[in-house]
């Protein structure tokens, strides 16, 4: 699979609520880093930790449905651009850059375009 095919398959499973299937696209020791505001901040290592991060996002936001804006790739990396939230409430763009090796995601880094809106959307500062 190309990096973008891996990313598309993972994202489709994530959005469908099949988180157990989505996480299988990550290597066993993959890292998922969120440098955004609040209690979600940190680096999560491995499938269980990544799923805890996803569950914390859902819990803090009351559930969310990221809307795909764009996908891109190079030989080894892919990125996902999504919109989170909807006006008139908090709304922001999120870019997640994925490192992909041999068809598995080995690392992901999240970047929010509006940290204030992200903090408002995810509410509490604790996970």
Q: Considering only 49-53, 66-70, 88-92, which range has the smallest mean pLDDT? A: 88-92
pLDDT at 124: 54
Per-residue pLDDT at 69 exceeds 80: yes
Per-residue pLDDT at 77 exceeds 90: no
Asked, for residue 127, whether it belongs to a domain, the answer is no
CA atoms within 13 A on the CB side of 66: 23
Are 90 and 121 spatial neighbours (Cβ–Cβ below 8 Å)? yes
Asked, for residue 27, whether it belongs to a domain, the answer is yes
Q: Considering the chain, what is the average pLDDT of its residues?
A: 91
E-assigned strand segments in the chain? 26-34, 42-45, 67-73, 77-84, 92-101, 104-112
Asked, for residue 80, whether it belongs to a domain, the answer is yes
Q: What is the CATH number of the domain that holds 34?
A: 3.10.450.50
Domain membership of residue 31 as a residue range = 3-122
pLDDT-derived band at 55 (thresholds 50, 70, 90) equals very high
Per-residue pLDDT at 127 exceeds 50: no
Asked, for residue 14, whether it belongs to a domain, the answer is yes
CA gap 48, 20 in Å, rounded: 10
Q: Considering only 11-15, 50-54, 83-87, 100-104, which range has the smallest mean pLDDT? A: 83-87
Asked, for residue 75, whether it belongs to a domain, the answer is yes
Q: Is the dihedral of CA 102, 14, 9, 117 positive or negative?
A: negative
Per-residue pLDDT at 37 exceeds 80: no
Count of domains for the chain: 1
Average pLDDT over residues 55-75: 90
Asked, for residue 41, whether it belongs to a domain, the answer is yes
Per-residue pLDDT at 53 exceeds 60: yes
């Amino acid at each position: 699979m190309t990096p973008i095919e891996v990313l598309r398959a993972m994202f489709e499973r994530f959005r469908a609520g099949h988180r157990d299937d989505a996480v299988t696209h990550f290597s066993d020791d993959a890292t998922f880093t969120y440098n955004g505001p609040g209690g979600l901040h940190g680096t999560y290592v491995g499938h269980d930790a990544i799923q805890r991060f996803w569950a914390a996002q859902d819990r803090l936001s009351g559930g969310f449905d990221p809307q795909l804006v764009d996908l891109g790739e190079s030989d080894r990396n892919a990125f996902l651009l999504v919109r989170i939230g909807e006006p008139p409430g908090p709304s922001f763009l999120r870019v997640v850059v994925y490192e992909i090796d041999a068809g598995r995601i080995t690392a992901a880094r999240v970047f929010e375009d509006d940290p204030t809106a992200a903090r408002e959307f995810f509410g509490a500062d604790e996970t």
